[in-house]
Structure 1
Amino acid sequence: MKATIVTIGDEILIGQITDTNSGFIAKALDRIGIETIEMLSISDDKNHILQTLSRLQNTVDFVLLTGGLGPTKDDITKKTFCDYFEDELIVNQDVEKHVVALIERVMNRPASQVNKDQALVPSKCIVLHNEVGTAPGMWIKKENTVYVSLPGVPYEMKYLVENQLIPKIVQEYKRPYIMHKTILTYGQGESVVAERIEAWENALPAFIKLAYLPAPGRVRLRLTARGADKEILEAAIQENVNSVTEIIKDIIVGFDDDETLEVVLGSLLAKHNKTIATAESCTGGKIAQVLTAAAGASKYFKGGVVTYDTQAKIDVLGVSKQDIETHSVVSKEVVSAMASSVRVIMKTDYAIATTGNAGPLKGDSDVEIGTVFVAIATPSEIIVEEFNFGQPREKVIDRAVIKSLELMYKEILKIV
């Protein structure tokens, strides 16, 4: 079964807000075997909405729309639905009671007529009850396509998808199985990984597809299997994961979408009761931000300092002024001192330090723009590596963060 997701709103098209609803809906549909083949963003224009509804008629099983269901005059989805389905708006008594009660309870005032008008719905629709808001969802089938209109407010949309839409689809439709398995690799680019697994990829059965999802410093390999027999799909996916693992086990760090390098690293630190700190210059605290974004990071992350200025490295971390003058603030010697010092200050087992010229202008060092030094301080030694990530500035910073985590991951593996 196939679906198209449509977001309605000029605020999306002019870049005022970012559409996050489509991704949430697509994931929810994927979990129950429905393939999203298209995502659209369209304007709050009656003719444009009508054209979109007409174009999608009988081309997909489901059209999921979000937005345009508010109480103000610029919210036109319900009226446009009536035009398309040759219908009229009627008051749904259950929705009206809910709206009045919600406004009185939450706003502590009587519901206005504008609020009550949220209970107006096309007479042909099946109402999807919105417990957490005033705009109901609407389900209307025309020929071979089900049209579902949902509020654009994310928490209301999520409630309706999880509690109304998905249960209704599961109850009424038989669907194929769609299964995914993600393999997270690090340290090698997409082309290198593809070359290493070419023979394995060519031998995949026809019902399993492989997608490469590259990002700076890492590549996700996503296996997707579709079919009617869940057990066959599960067995085939696992068999192929096992076989490719033997080929590239040296660069695999996880097997799940949520198993990012920083999450895996944090889990290993917590498991072995090890702690870490950071001293950052060119990365501006981003390594600490990434590490602390994981739940439970307080078990292993003790703290970090951002000594962006040269004098701050001297005053806060005690880096030798002579080393800076002799070797440059962007150097092996300085980054080693930063890592060693923050490890002592924070009383941790490990530390990560960075210094570099991210650009576009040179700072207090004459080294080439894009140059970054990363140091890992362990209980027994300090490992330093030099990189040149080129430009632009954002690329330099992102790659420096990834490489720092990779180097730390390699060190923690030595105690596993």
Structure 2
Amino acid sequence: MTPPAAHKTPAHQHPALAAADPELAALVGVEERLQADTLRLIPSENYVSSAVLEASGTVLQNKYSEGYPGRRYYEGQQNIDQVERLAVARAKALFGTDHANVQPYSGSPANLAVYLAFAEPGDTVMGMALPMGGHLTHGWGVSATGKWFRGVQYAVRQDTGLVDFDAVRELALKERPKLIFCGGTALPRTIDFAAFAEIARESGAVLVADIAHIAGLIAGGAHPSPVPHADVISTTTHKTLRGPRGAMLLAREEHAKAIDKAVFPGLQGGPHNQTTAAIAVALHEAAQPSFRDYAHAVVANAQALADALLARGFDLVSGGTDNHLVLMDLTPKDVPGKVAAKALDRAGIVVNYNTVPYDARKPFDPSGVRIGTPSLTSRGLGTEHMATVADWIDRGVRAAGSGDEDALQKIRGEVAELMAAFPAPGLPRA
């Protein structure tokens, strides 16, 4: 179905695409308008710069480059090698690591490479349970990592929403896993990498810090770094890092060969060179002083938003946030998370429904909603706007409960008006 003509992308913005495939160009235009007009609160999303977008669409797309710089299986790699070396050098400098591999296609393949490097099928691995805020690839049963390996999971305390390190230590010493993952997808508090490292040493495990959500905060000095503590660090390059959809593995020098061999030829063939270039650009941007300001502003905005939500009677997992993410339990509001998320979407507020620790509801119809501040901070919104955002969420949840569609449309108009005053990076101007 062709999108409405009013939302089609002007030919001057994507001229070749508009000429070759107007239907697809129109869909791009609709998405550009959606990203411009709505308040994007999904914590794993962001806006990349125009420079990152341009790098993602270069002629580097045309190259096959199996192998590593200086050790390729194809000729004609003189320039590609320099691009990848640049990305690697910038990653090592930004995070202060011995080794970096920028070839993983995304976060889940990057984590699979860690398994391939350090474990054998059937080995015991340990990670945070998915309903507690962990990730599928940390040994959860429905994931390949839970089917090919024996996954054991730790939890958070029901009374505080925080990791119980005594329980983690007890489980690790009992199970003796090959790998221990720390990090996840719905963790609103600072990760104590040092505590996890001590447990990993005691139990003889390799510690893997999955910092996909907080890589940008770490790069900007707004969250402690795992580099002094973890054997391996896995991260995506989008989310708070504001790069393309890719991933990296960072490691101590002693693990460099194992990691590289696991990525290629272990799991994948040629890297996506256009993505490698865009990663290099994003890492360069993250090394600038302005990015440190951004990272700290993300956290300040999240904490201001959390305070404003608490003032409006919302129940927040762990009582607040230390990072970019807020997890709301809507049980006291008597509105399911999925119902609230879909209503907020109609109001121009983009969130995702999410399980909360010890959720009584099913994962596809959970009690919670997960929100975050990376995208709105990229647009320039500050702490002075968070009370307004909290008010919209409050009104939207109440409208979801009562079925008041008129209230949702009123919020949508207010959202669009504020968004117009804060143009998003990388999007064409109206």
Which of the pair is proportionally richer in helix? 2
Which of the pair is proportionally richer in strand? 1
Q: State TM-score, norm by structure 2.
A: 0.30
